[in-house]
Chains A and B, each alone.
Chain A
């Protein structure tokens, strides 16, 4: 799932080399922390958070598939 978010984020931004994704395992599933270059922040969030929402939707489909809970966190 980390790879999924990394793939999408790298495709969205202008500086893919500055994308970093960390998966933090918690008690109830994992938290996927996405970090991008400052000018790219808007690109992964999108107008009214649409892009972020779309990524979360796909992530939830993926977590259904592998039966593991995951949430996406975009960190500054």
Chain B
């Protein structure tokens, strides 16, 4: 098999070019980096492109010799499985106050054995109503169940006071109600309580969906990772879930605590495939 040389501003970019040119995904190529790129001085003086040497791997021969399935085929298989078992993102994503449930593929796959929320509805409603009465705001709490969670809707205030900056007051209320309702419940049998007012949660989720789709578009277009602003766990979870269905990008979280943020990465191989069609 013949070798081809490609250059790019970075090794990654050079490889991306190679994939596109040779109509092959990265795992199907033998890649040798001949030269790393140097950034140069202030990005102007002394910049040097990266150079890579690639050739197509002879998969058929490799398979017969090593009796091992090629990486790419296996990768695609497990991905397909993951997609089948992944929960549908839309409604499920609405709840999600659990701290770090979002991250791994494992967690996304896991179908939780949910606790029946109905015995907790009245108690949760009373607690939230009690808090509101003492703030004091004139508002009524309506309680229902939705998607296996207790759903508390605050009616009547409408001033935005209870939402707070970026929803922080609403989140604080929700956090405390969850904590109180689940005081006696051991981990694993905790019931989820969602506190909402003026349809804030649904509006927020719509915003998150837009953010997710926009950043995924940007990642695909630029072929570069796109970093989002720091978000709390349940918001990151929603973004992960929305983009889990998108085969051309993948998402990861970086950072600690309040500064933890999602980075959306383009998947190189699939992008090239799509462009050709």
Interface residues of A (CB under 8 A from B): 1, 3-4, 7-8, 11-12, 46, 48, 50-51, 53-55, 57-58, 61-62, 64-66
Which residues on B sit within 8 Å (CB–CB) of A50? Answer: 175
Which residues on B sit within 8 Å (CB–CB) of A48? Answer: 257
Interface check B137, CB cutoff 8 A: yes
The one of B135, B161, B171, B179 in contact with A4, judged by C-beta atoms closer than 8 angstroms, is B135
Per-position 1/0 for B130-161, Cβ under 8 A of A? 11001111000000000000000000000001
Q: What is the minimal beta-carbon distance from A29 to any residue of chain B, in angstroms?
A: 16
Which residues on A sit within 8 Å (CB–CB) of B136? Answer: 62, 65-66
**Cα–Cα, bound, A8→B249 (Å):** 43
When the two chains form their complex, are residues B179 and A46 in contact, meaning their CB atoms are under 8 A apart? yes
Q: A57-B164, A58-B172 are in contact. Are A12 and B131 (CB under 8 A)?
A: no
27 A-B pairs, CB-CB below 8 angstroms? A3-B134, A4-B131, A4-B134, A4-B135, A7-B131, A8-B131, A8-B180, A11-B130, A12-B176, A12-B179, A12-B180, A12-B183, A46-B179, A50-B175, A51-B175, A51-B176, A53-B172, A57-B164, A57-B172, A58-B135, A58-B172, A58-B176, A61-B135, A61-B162, A61-B164, A64-B161, A65-B136
When the two chains form their complex, are residues A65 and B131 in contact, meaning their CB atoms are under 8 A apart? no
**Cα–Cα, bound, A65→B162 (Å):** 10
Interface check B127, CB cutoff 8 A: yes
Interface residues of B (CB under 8 A from A): 127, 130-131, 134-137, 161-162, 164, 168-169, 171-173, 175-176, 179-180, 183, 257
Q: What is the minimal beta-carbon distance from B194 to any residue of chain A, in angstroms?
A: 15
Main secondary structure of the interface of B (DSSP, over half): helix
**Cα–Cα, bound, A28→B188 (Å):** 45
The one of A3, A51, A66 in contact with B179, judged by C-beta atoms closer than 8 angstroms, is A51
**Cα–Cα, bound, A6→B112 (Å):** 35
Q: A11-B127, A61-B164 are in contact. Are A55 and B176 (CB under 8 A)?
A: yes
Main secondary structure of the interface of A (DSSP, over half): helix
Which residues on B sit within 8 Å (CB–CB) of A8? Answer: 131, 176, 180
When the two chains form their complex, are residues A58 and B131 in contact, meaning their CB atoms are under 8 A apart? yes
Which residues on B sit within 8 Å (CB–CB) of A61? Answer: 135, 161-162, 164, 169
9 smallest A-B Cβ distances: which pairs? A54-B172, A57-B172, A4-B134, A62-B135, A11-B180, A61-B169, A54-B175, A3-B134, A58-B172
